[in-house]
Amino acid sequence: LQKSLKETFGADKYSRARKEVLTYMFSRPMQMALYFCTGVLDDETLFRHYALNVPFYTHFTSPIRRYADIVVHRLLSASLGVSSPIKMEKEDIQRQAEHCNDRKMASKRVQELSTDLFFSIFVRVR
């Protein structure tokens, strides 16, 4: 896929724009990662990371960025015995995860709409 895309980009003045548009279009359909509390899911195959081919997977970034990352850091720290357990029921953690997923989806949708608007204006001007 990468090789055929590279050939499609070309080497003219629009190649960089073509690369960005095509890369975006090919990555857009990929399934977005979702936060969930493992204690509420019975199917452990849902914990798997398909691309990395690992049975259990968690992801987080710096805890200064997002609330979900703070929760993951705290849960991981507690599970490793570094800090005291979190005083939240698994259903409460799941509600927090669903809220974070909702906000992330809304943010992604606004980003997509903004991209569509910019592209429409670009096409109209050109």
Residue 31: what pLDDT?
67
pLDDT tens digits along 3-31: 777 777 777 888 888 788 777 777 666 66
Average pLDDT, the chain: 82
Residue 28: what pLDDT?
66
How far apart are the C-alpha atoms of 102 and 75, rounded to whole Å? Answer: 21
**Average pLDDT estimate for 100-119:** 90
How far apart are the C-alpha atoms of 67 and 78, rounded to whole Å? Answer: 17
Residue 29: what pLDDT?
62
Residue 114: what pLDDT?
93
What pTM, to 2 d.p., does this model score?
Answer: 0.63
Residue 52: what pLDDT?
76
Is the pLDDT score of 95 beyond 90? yes
Higher-pLDDT residue of 126, 63 = 126
Domain ranges of the chain: 1-30, 34-125
- DSSP letter for each residue of 40-61: G---GGGG-BTTTTBSS-----
Is the pLDDT score of 83 beyond 90? yes
* Residues 40-45: contacts with CB under 8 Å, at least 24 apart: 40/90, 40/91, 40/94
Residue 99: what pLDDT?
93
How far apart are the C-alpha atoms of 21 and 39, rounded to whole Å? Answer: 40
Q: Measured in Å, how far apart are the chain's first and last C-alpha atoms?
A: 29
Residue 1: what pLDDT?
64
